Chains A and B, each alone.
Chain A
Amino acid sequence: MTLDRIDIGQSCKIVKVGGFGALRRRLLDMGLTPKTQVMVRKVAPMGDPIELCLRGYELTIRKDDAKNIEVVKWEEESI
């Protein structure tokens, strides 16, 4: 599953950050590293971008870029 498909209010755990170059690097630098817990806070009024909550702060990324981030649902993990 990829991050753009997570429902609002749901948490997930990052498995892998795909993509390349500046974008990927920026995602990693901002703390979207494997095993990090991410909650999808909301979607912008026009349907894109999305707002995430991770490491105690809010981050916004575009859905197209979220497609590169592989995740698993958080519940599956914590049981």
Chain B
Amino acid sequence: MIFALAGNQNSGKTTLFNQLTGSNQHVGNFPGVTVEKKEGIIRKNKDASVVDLPGIYSLSPYTAEEIVTRDFLIKDKPDGIINIVDATNIERNLYLTLQLIELNIPIVVALNMMDAVTSSGSYIDIEKLSHELGVAVVPISASKNQGIDNLIKKAFEIAKEKVRPKKMDFCEGHVHRAIHAVAHLVEDHAQNMGISMRFAATRLVEGDEQIEKSLKLSANEKDILNHIVNEMEEELGTDREAALADMRYAFIENVCKKAVFKNKESKEQQRSIKIDNILTHKHFAIPIFLLIMCVIFYLTFGLIGSYLSELLELAISSFTNFTDAALAHFGLSPTIHSLIIDGIYAGVGSVLSFLPLIVVLFFFLSLLEDSGYMARVAFVMDKLLRKIGLSGRSFVPMLIGFGCSVPAILASRTLPSERDRKMTIVLTPFMSCSAKVPIYAIFVAAFFAQNKALVMISLYVLGMIVAILSGLLLKNTVFKGDPVPFVMELPAYRLPSFKTIMMHVWEKAKDFITRAFTVIFIASLIIWLLQSFDLRFNMVSDSSESMLASIGTFIAPIFKPLGFGNWQSSTALITGLTAKEAVISTFQVLMGGDMSLTDLFTPLSAVAFLSFTLLYMPCVAALAAMKREMGAKYAFFAITYQTGIAWIVAFLVYNIGRLLIGG
């Protein structure tokens, strides 16, 4: 038996999903789009699963999330829908409920946050509400785990006995007549398509082109449809979309008048207004936000995260040493020995040491997200990002990019639109990540001892400028489509549940570990192979004879116009793909004892090299995250674009610099 869990954003859907399934979850994507699909077994019921649909406000055919939800409900035909409704915000939440009811699938409404309703002195008459809506209503509190057993029981009941909604007529007058007429018109088509006649009719009256197409109406039927709709519009003096939205809300207002007795502003809302007086204050909002981010960065990359990372590195290296000794003792072939230690352990180990950073960072981010603060950040920062075709929501992932691209890319998951998500992921790596700092530091010390800070800051600024210009370029080319409108709910502040946050963190951690042992495992093997053998597959002792060095020599001419056509640089850039810090260690290995960076670079070509390092494709860990979040096609586009831009910028830096200096 399959249930679909549907509801608005911020209605506590994820919390309810976690309560329903416990840890039996499976995360994937809906076919063809990068919209997350979570599936889980309902606790204590092995043969029943629940699919967590994206948080949406309506079944209109505009965003990827809405379309995915519709398609799932229409094509996958779940046995029942569990519709979660935020009782503290019941009017707007029921808007989706009415549309779900029209699908004529057994449905139970889970009226969430009933504890908050009661505590603020309001009252909802459950029986009355159930009667008015014609469907089962179960009061719950997902965060307090109240009423969940009841909900499961009711859900099974309606699914087993196929209890369809008792009524679907939510309208009167002209709209009613129009829907009725259209319903008769398309009855056969709807049956052929296997969808509810009522749903098809309402959608057609509303002007849903997608449904119209899939119903395969004849030209004659289309004419009749248009005639019916035109007549309705004329009589109402308004257009079809407004007419139906109005009809639904009018019905809801009527239901609420009968069943909901509400104080004007709930306690939660009053508290939120007070908190917002400070957090979105005219003058304090931005400083407070920056302060919060600084604290999170400090704790993640400075205090807790880096401490844990060092601890993990220590553990990994002692485990490596132990294996190393054991293998040597066992007398294993030196090739295999090197494969295990220098290839697998070194590669996977270096990526795995990011894990604590990700765990700590995501702990804080989930806290911000679930408390409702992230929506405020979007509210405050929207104006800045709008110009490059994004919305305020993209600000946080980009900011995290300064720490590490991997969690930044994963954080883009919270963006409400697929287009924004992809664009943010492409732009995020231009934010100079912390792994690049050692590269800058060593180059700057060697060439610009006088102006260390200036050069460092310039690099960061360069990254941001490139991101802004890229945004302007991409929004008019690759990511042209309509941006999803920035019409966003500011949910009431809530104390997030510790369990939900830990589940978020665990999800990210599990994901990351899986990738470390798959994609990154293979990448490490390949790099090791290239580093340890020459072109005739003899193992090399001097890395300058390795295949990697040969490839470096081969591609070096590409970088000649950028001023660093030496094979060491190109080899270092390749190893930099495993992790950016590797650029420096590669230089150290390849230059031997008596060479220094000043022999390979002039100050100008050093700047060009640093610009290239700043902008070119991110490391394997980030690449794997990109592929996971937006698919192979877009990930490939992203790295091609980033590396291309890096080349162009470095070229400009080097050649304009030469003209200016006159070298």
Contacts and interface: CB of A to CB of B under 8 A. Distances in A.
Contacts of B482: 21-22
B490 A59 contact: yes
Given A49-B382, A60-B379, A34 B485 contact: no
Interface in A39-62: 41-42, 44-49, 51, 55-62
Contact of A57 (B58, B92, B386): B92
A23 B485 contact: yes
A1 interface: no
A67 interface: no
Q: A interface, how many residues as a size bin?
A: 20 to 34
B242 A49 contact: no
A26 B249 contact: no
* Main SS class of interface, A: mixed
Contacts of B63: 22
A28 B380 contact: no
A17 interface: yes
A61 B486 contact: yes
A55 to B, nearest CB: 4
Contact of B383 (A31, A48, A55, A65): A48
A56 B487 contact: no
A73 B182 CA distance: 38
A45 B279 CA distance: 10
A33 B382 contact: no
B283 A59 contact: no
Contacts of A27: 485, 487
Interface string B51-63: 0000001101011
A59 B90 CA distance: 15
B382 A62 contact: yes
A22 B249 contact: no
A62 B486 CA distance: 7
A10 interface: no
Contacts of B91: 31, 55-56
Given A25-B62, A27-B487, A60-B379, A45 B246 contact: no
A21 B482 CA distance: 10
A29 interface: yes
A52 to B, nearest CB: 9
A49 B391 CA distance: 11
B43 interface: no
A14 to B, nearest CB: 10
B386 to A, nearest CB: 8
B56 to A, nearest CB: 9
B62 A26 contact: yes
B245 A46 contact: no
A34 B490 contact: no
B262 interface: yes
B282 interface: yes
Interface in B482-509: 482, 484-492
A34 to B, nearest CB: 6
Interface string B269-289: 100110010001111011000
A44 B238 CA distance: 33
B242 A17 contact: yes
Contact of A31 (B241, B249, B280, B382): B249
B282 A28 contact: no
Nearest to A28: B245
Contact of A45 (B238, B241, B380): B380
Interface string B610-641: 00000000000000000000000000000000
Nearest to B63: A22
A6 to B, nearest CB: 17
A60 B328 CA distance: 65
B242 A34 contact: yes
B382 A44 contact: yes
A59 B89 contact: no
Residue with the greatest number of chain A CB neighbours at <10 A, chosen from B62, B283, B482:
B62
B76 to A, nearest CB: 23
A33 B276 CA distance: 26
B94 to A, nearest CB: 10
A78 B262 CA distance: 21
A47 B58 CA distance: 29
Nearest to B207: A25
B249 to A, nearest CB: 5
A73 B378 CA distance: 29
Given A49-B486, A58-B489, A30 B92 contact: yes
16 contacts: A17-B242, A22-B484, A22-B485, A26-B62, A29-B58, A31-B91, A31-B95, A33-B242, A34-B242, A45-B281, A45-B380, A47-B383, A49-B382, A56-B262, A57-B89, A60-B490
Interface of B: 57-58, 60, 62-63, 88-92, 95, 238, 241-242, 245-246, 249, 262, 265-266, 269, 272-273, 276, 280-283, 285-286, 375, 378-380, 382-384, 386, 482, 484-492
Interface of A: 17, 21-31, 33-34, 36, 41-42, 44-49, 51, 55-62, 65
A-B pairs, 6 with minimum CB distance: A28-B245, A29-B58, A23-B485, A58-B490, A22-B62, A46-B383
Given A57-B492, A58-B489, A59-B490, 9 more contacts: A25-B241, A29-B58, A30-B57, A31-B91, A34-B246, A56-B91, A60-B378, A60-B379, A60-B490
